[in-house]
Amino acid sequence: MDKLPFRQVHLDFHTSELMPDVGSRFSEENFKKALIDGHISSITLFSKCHHGWSYHPTSVNEMHPTLKTDLLGRQLAVCEELGVRTQIYISAGLDERKAVKYPHLRNVSRSGNNTLLGAHWHGLCLNNEEYIVQLLSEVEEVMQRYNGHFDGVFVDICYPTACVCSCCIESMLKLGLDPENDDDVNKHRKIVYHNYTKRLNAVVAKYNKDMPVFYNLGNIPRDDRSIVFSNTAHLELESLPTGGWGYDHFPMSAAYTRVLGREFLGMTGKFHKTWGEFGGYKHPNALIYETALSLANGAKCSIGDQLHPHGNFDEATYKLIGSAYAEVEKREKWCSDVTAVTDIAIFSTYTDETMFTSTDIGANRMMLEGKYLYNIIDAECDLSDYKLIIFPDIAVFDEKLSEKVNEYIDNGGKILLSGTSGLCENGEFFRDFGVKYIDRSQIDASYLVPCYDMQPNGVAAYLMYERGHLVKVNDGVEVVAHMQDSYFNRSFRRFCSHKNTPNDPESLMPGAVISGNVGYIAWNIFDEYRVHGAFHHKQIVCDMIDKMLGDCKTLVTNLGSNGVVTLMEQNNENRLVNHLLYAVTKLRGATEVIEDAPITLNTKVSIRLKNKPSRVYLVPECSDIDFSYENGILTYTVDKFILHGMVVIDK
């Protein structure tokens, strides 16, 4: 059963001590109107901000110097009256007042930098016992003062920065860790995270054992579940497309979060760019699309705003939020308690160090644009849930993973490898499938030459921008595409034309192969797509996946590459929900924006089903769609939709 509301607002209130008359224009009626106009069912309200000030009377911290009222208490009372759920926000890793006043509490980087120069926040060390005791007292005060009047705790800036302050050096040495070793420093910060979150959870549970606590990291890490599960209930996926995350990030984060078994929401913002942008508004069509993207990926919704220091809620902002949440509200009954239908899994290679360069990024883009049904998994997932698993570019196979994947293949599962994925520590593939890895090519630019009529340009020598990998294949292995070298590497000694050296037609090596249930591509194809984005990078991957899946593919559609397609199952309602999204993003300066809402016409969808459905219809209008069902394939056409179409299939 759903516990998270669908329509949340994250109300930032980071307010400098130099701002006059804080909260002076707050009125209950203005707040009520904003909540109603915005169609809001949940809101996050501030106890303590990044500047370090509290927004209620306090005996353990200091209330904002120009605030003359219990702003948090009054806000909570309004929400209780309207039946709007609330979370209380407490800043953990940032407290500028303490950072300035008590320099010994600050983070110290390996470079030794802890200067106060610069118009930005200065992080505190979450391993400093003096500060942690202070933070826990602030949490405890909130629980004592407002327990029973709010529904959750939101702790922000939670993941410790790599720190070598005196406290961290001392604790690392006690643990036998080396403060001069980057790996040990990173290991230590995870220990710090677990220590303080365990203590904070205990403080909350002391007063309310059912109170959910969420720790915002700005990202859901895909390499350590223990970090994620410090959150006691749901997850919030911070992902502002215009704030640096991009429109591909949320689907990627959601695709992993779905396998964790937690309710979650997608957090975007009303801003043109990002947090803290007073006077920044995105086009309503962008916000409608972003909240639809949350629904389509099995999430609830959250929209970020920042309240003016005077405390009055901006009418234009809540009209904007309401334009999106009115659409969400109409669709909630078809979006609750859902499970994603998937064919494919991407095995994540994410680490903290590769957060912005992970091979997951390119693989995720290909799956989105190719209209595949997919999740992103880690080594703890059950592989048998998927028909095909992608191990992108650099997935190292240890003994445990090798055993698990071998069993999966022996039971009929299929995998796609690329680059050095599938190699063990000895440099050999985890399994004998007729392909032997030799080495990384020494040729800078090579070419992919398909052995078939690859669409849309046919057989050609397609440039690969990064070095490939050399392999030998046995007889009987199907070569789907060859690799051709260029004549020579470009240097000051020799070069040809403006850029890369042309291909040598006499050079011919395996470039992409299929052997039984294993496919292999001899380039870091997913990272190439992340960096260079050439169409043929995606096409060879999609063609190999389609060839390997054969007639096992669940969904096929003609929706264009900018579109997003998902298929969700509502088991309790005995129905499927097909989400179709389409928007065109445009780069303006450094900001990716959505403005227009084009009408998408004649979207054809075919879905493999065991039984003929009883009804197929568009929601929320509940208008029937003509459909056919032949040989286990349901086919229908959505005549038109704008931004977000939803088709319900009653079984």
Residues 82-100, mean pLDDT to the nearest whole number = 97
Contact (CB, 8 A) for 298 and 254: yes
What are the sequence ranges of the domains in the chain?
7-336, 342-552, 555-650
What separation in angstroms does the CA of 450 have from each of 125, 218, 414, 506? 54, 41, 21, 15
- What's the angle, vertex CA 621, arms to CA 616 and CA 624, rounded to 5? 25
pLDDT on residue 183:
93
Can you tell me the distance from the alpha carbon of 253 to that of 588, in angstroms, rounded to the nearest whole number?
A: 25
Question: What mean pLDDT is predicted for residues 609-614?
Answer: 98
Return d(Cα 314, Cα 305) in angstroms, integer: 10
Residue with tokens 């990173």: 186
pTM given for the model:
0.96
Query: What is the per-residue pLDDT across 532-555, written as a single tens digit (0 to 9) for each?
Result: 999 999 999 999 999 999 999 999
pLDDT tens-digit readout, 480-508: 999 999 999 999 999 999 999 999 999 99
Residue bearing the bigger pLDDT, 3 or 585 = 585
Residue 16 structure tokens:
């400098």
Residue that wins the pLDDT comparison between 235 and 353: 235
Q: Report whether pLDDT(1) > 50.
A: no
Q: What is the pLDDT of residues 196-215, one digit of tens each?
A: 999 999 999 999 999 999 99
Whether residue 19 has pLDDT greater than 90: yes
DSSP letter (8 states) at residue 501: P
CA distance 39 to 27: 19
Assign domain 342-552 to a CATH class: alpha beta
- Rounded Cα gap, residues 422 and 409, in angstroms: 13
From its phi and psi, is residue 432 left (phi > 0), alpha (psi between -120 and 50) or beta?
Answer: beta
Predicted confidence at residue 116, as pLDDT, reads: 75
For helices 28-37 and 315-331, give the axis angle rounded to 10 degrees: 40
Q: What is the mean pLDDT of the chain?
A: 96
Distance in angstroms (rounded) separating the CA atoms of residues 608 and 224: 35
Tokens of 45: 């309200």
Torsion of CA 153, 156, 160, 161, to 10 degrees: 180
pLDDT surpassing 60 at residue 513: yes
pLDDT of 564 over the 90 cut: yes
Exposure class string for 391-416: b at 16+ Cβ within 10 A, else e: bbbbbebeeebeeebeebbeeebbbb
Residue 2 pLDDT level (bands cut at 50, 70, 90): low
- Whether pLDDT at 363 is above 60: yes
Residue 290, phi-psi category: left (phi > 0), alpha (psi -120 to 50), beta (remainder)? alpha
Q: How confident is the model at residue 633 (pLDDT cuts 50, 70, 90)?
A: very high
- pLDDT tens digits for range 439-480: 999 999 999 999 999 999 999 999 999 999 999 999 999 999
CB 56, CB 47: distance < 8 Å: yes
Query: Is 508:482 a contact under the CB 8 Å cutoff?
Result: yes
Confidence of residue 343 (pLDDT cuts 50, 70, 90): very high
Question: Hey, which CATH number is domain 7-336, 3.30.70.100, 3.30.470.10, 2.40.170.20, 3.20.20.80?
Answer: 3.20.20.80
> With contact defined as beta carbons under 8 Å apart, do 71 and 26 qualify?
yes
Any idea what DSSP says for residue 318?
A: H
Task: Check pLDDT > 90 for residue 39.
Answer: yes
Give the tens place of pLDDT for each residue, 266-289: 999 999 999 999 999 999 999 999
* pLDDT band per the 50, 70, 90 thresholds, residue 115: confident
Give the C-alpha separation, 595 to 280, whole Å. Answer: 15
**β-pair type (388-391, 414-418):** parallel
CA dihedral 11, 16, 17, 21 (to 10 degrees): -60
Q: Are 7-336 and 555-650 in the same CATH fold?
A: no
CATH numeric code, 555-650: 2.60.40.1180
The residue ranges of DSSP E strands in 290-343, in sequence order, are: 300-306, 339-340
In the chain, the amino acid numbered 107 is N
